[in-house]
Chain A
Amino acid sequence: MFAFIIRRLAVAIPTILVLVVLSYILMFAAPGGPFNAERPLPPNVLENIEARYGLDQPYWKQIYDYLVNIVFHFDFGPSFKYRDRTVSDIITQGFPVTLTYGFWSFVVAVIVGVSLGIAAAVKHNSILDYFAVGVSIGAQSLPNFVMAPVLVLVFTLWLGWLPGGGWNGGEWQFVVMPVIALSTSYMASIARITRSSMLEVLNAGFIRTARAKGLPMKRIIFRHALKPAILPVLSYLGPAFVMMITGSVIVDSYFSTGGIGQFFVNAAFNRDYSVMMGITILMGVLTIVFNLVVDLLYAWIDPKIRY
């Protein structure tokens, strides 16, 4: 187990390094520096400011300092656009919002998706099955940026049930639409994966044995079939997480929830490179950590996997 974690970290750490170096190189390649203004500063003033931010150092030293600051002080440096805020301020402000609806959409997607998939598999070739398959095929390629405007059209403009945007401290009316918009497409994928793997498991010999000895269907499904059937779903959770993280950019900017994605898009328009880099790196690290957790979970559930 321990060696397994070490091996995974051996891939994870270079990944983060590549991400940091890549984004840093991109930033060096960008035309213009943070202190280029319409009226150029006197050279000695510019020199002083650059020394203050460590921009006079060689590149490798800058990257090194940047990394050290992130790891030990959670400090991603100052924002180029908002001089009085640091990137860490922006992250700590926006991240809880993103985390809230991200968490709920994950929960909704997994619970609804898995139940729909199981129901469809158990009632194979029934109306319910066809319904589930139809919905999941349709929803799977329905991206969140299509869901978002359609939801607003229906629930805000036609029915008037839900507010079309904003966050308001996370009241439930404001969370519903972001969660639906974000979770739909991978809920559909989860349902499809669950259905097909459940069908496979239900045809296996040990399920027939369980039925032969007269166990109730409910017990067979939850006690015997669920665990092996859930494995493919688990390995899909990694990509789903990436989809969710990128989708949060759409949700944030369409519903103005004030999450981290909104800051990212604003930074993209303002050429606020340090904010963009900070958020990119944070998302990369989150993805890697999440994949690690999924791998461990997988190894824990599936006894066939040996480290």
Chain B
Amino acid sequence: MLTSRTSPEQLGDLPQRAEVKGRSLWRDAVGRFAANRAAVISLVVLVMIFLFAIFGQILSPHEPDYVDFMLRGNIKELGVPSMENQHYFGLEKEGRDLYVRVVQGTRISILVGVVGSIVAVVVGTLYGAISGYFGGRVDNIMMRIVDILLAIPFMFVIILLLVIFGRSPTMLFVGIGLMSWLNMARIARGQTLTIKNKEFVEAAIASGVRPIKIILRHIIPNLAGIVVVYATLLVPELIITESFISFLGLGVQEPQTSLGALISDGASQLNYGTYWMLAFPLFFFLITLYAFFFVGDGLRDALDPKDR
């Protein structure tokens, strides 16, 4: 069909044809995503979790750090989840309202995941794009640095950081941010290597655009698809990392909490028969993780042209 001649009649059709709405890459992707039922449901769940984390406090009359001394003496019987005293999820081990604590914990966990992921997107993409674009010795050195950092068991280093500089959410962000960008840098570099030989980059070089502008204006926008997919899949991983540290009691400190800390508290109370203390945080932890994983998978199927 490459050499087929266009007859004048067909040319006459052209203006009409132009009115047909174009299908952009993104529109295609949205269509594919919408066709994936698991991903769409997960997206809805995810939105609900976000709303819960942000506004969940409003539904409860209790404060997160208020200890209900009337019930505290006998949590096993009086602290069970009930609608009457508005402790929807019951009490946690210190006599505070579990519902409000879960709202708070979900908020912190998601915050850590999202902030870490944003760090990964910004640092990792820039690093990878620069490394891939310049190539040669620069690339070699920059990627060796990433290799070296990747081989370090970072969980131990994060804990070391937290112990030395104090256990605060800020330090947790720093520690998780330190490790989260490494894989992103590798992915971005790989993608840059294929993009940088395309004609539009060549055209930009030929017209004398400075390298840093080429990277920012021409390369990075073309990385967007893969970066979005990877960032979404990174969030649950970082939530697991944070919860891991909080489970050990080394993460965020009281009165703040996170899902990992709540799971840990619930697990430590298991033999008193207060199962709800484990069940509710665990439920929110797992649905958050699964929702992110399925949305990420759906995005990958929608945006990654390889597996089609």
Contacts and interface: CB of A to CB of B under 8 A. Distances in A.
Contacts of A149: 263, 266-267, 270, 278
Interface string B114-158: 000000000000000000000000000000100111011101110
A242 interface: yes
Contacts of B160: 23, 26, 268, 273, 276-277, 280
A29 interface: yes
A145 interface: yes
B185 interface: no
Contacts of A273: 160, 163-164
Contact of B250 (A19, A254, A265): A265
Contacts of A12: 151
Nearest to A29: B164
A115 interface: no
A23 B164 CA distance: 10
Looking at chain A, what size class is its interface with the partner chain?
A: 35 or more
Most chain B CB neighbours (cut-off 10 Å) among A250, A268, A269, A291: A268
Interface in B142-192: 144, 147-149, 151-153, 155-157, 159-165
B95 interface: no
Nearest to B161: A26
Contacts of A11: 144, 147-148, 151
B282 A146 contact: yes
A153 B270 contact: yes
B50 interface: no
A141 B243 contact: no
Contact of B270 (A142, A145, A146, A152): A152
Given A280-B156, A283-B156, A157 B271 contact: yes
Given A15-B151, A152-B270, A276-B163, A250 B248 contact: yes
Interface string A141-170: 111011011001100010000000000000
B289 interface: yes
A273 B156 CA distance: 12
Interface in A22-37: 22-23, 26-27, 29-30
Contacts of B244: 143, 145, 246, 250
B290 to A, nearest CB: 6
A246 B266 contact: no
Interface residues of B, number: 40
Given A145-B247, A271-B163, A273-B164, A279 B151 contact: no
A87 interface: no
B153 A18 contact: no
Nearest to A283: B153
A18 B151 CA distance: 10
Given A145-B243, A148-B267, A264 B163 contact: no
B156 A264 contact: yes
A220 B252 CA distance: 54
Contact of A145 (B162, B260, B293): B260
Contacts of B243: 143, 145
A284 interface: yes
Interface string A190-223: 0000000000000000000000000000000000
B153 A268 contact: no
A294 interface: no
A86 interface: no
Interface in B12-30: none
Nearest to A268: B163
Contacts of A249: 155, 248
Interface string B229-264: 000000010001001100111100000000010011
A276 B155 CA distance: 12
Given A141-B289, A268-B163, A157 B153 contact: no
A284 B144 contact: no
A19 B152 contact: yes
Contact of B153 (A26, A143, A277, A287): A287
Given A141-B236, A280-B160, A246 B267 contact: no
Given A143-B244, A246-B244, A291 B159 contact: no
B264 A287 contact: no
A126 B278 CA distance: 35
Contacts of B267: 148-149, 152, 254
A23 B152 CA distance: 11
A52 B149 CA distance: 34
A11 B250 CA distance: 31
Interface of B: 144, 147-149, 151-153, 155-157, 159-165, 236, 240, 243-244, 247-250, 260, 263-264, 266-267, 270-271, 275, 278, 282, 285-286, 289-290, 293
30 contacts: A12-B151, A15-B151, A15-B152, A19-B152, A23-B157, A26-B161, A30-B165, A141-B289, A143-B240, A145-B243, A146-B263, A149-B267, A149-B278, A153-B270, A157-B270, A246-B153, A246-B155, A249-B248, A264-B156, A265-B248, A265-B250, A269-B249, A271-B163, A273-B160, A280-B153, A280-B160, A284-B151, A284-B156, A287-B151, A288-B151
Given A11-B148, A141-B286, A249-B155, 9 more contacts: A143-B240, A145-B247, A146-B286, A149-B263, A149-B270, A149-B278, A273-B164, A280-B156, A284-B156
Interface of A: 11-12, 14-15, 18-19, 22-23, 26-27, 29-30, 141-143, 145-146, 148-149, 152-153, 157, 242, 245-246, 249-250, 253-254, 264-265, 268-269, 271, 273, 276-277, 279-280, 283-284, 287-288, 291
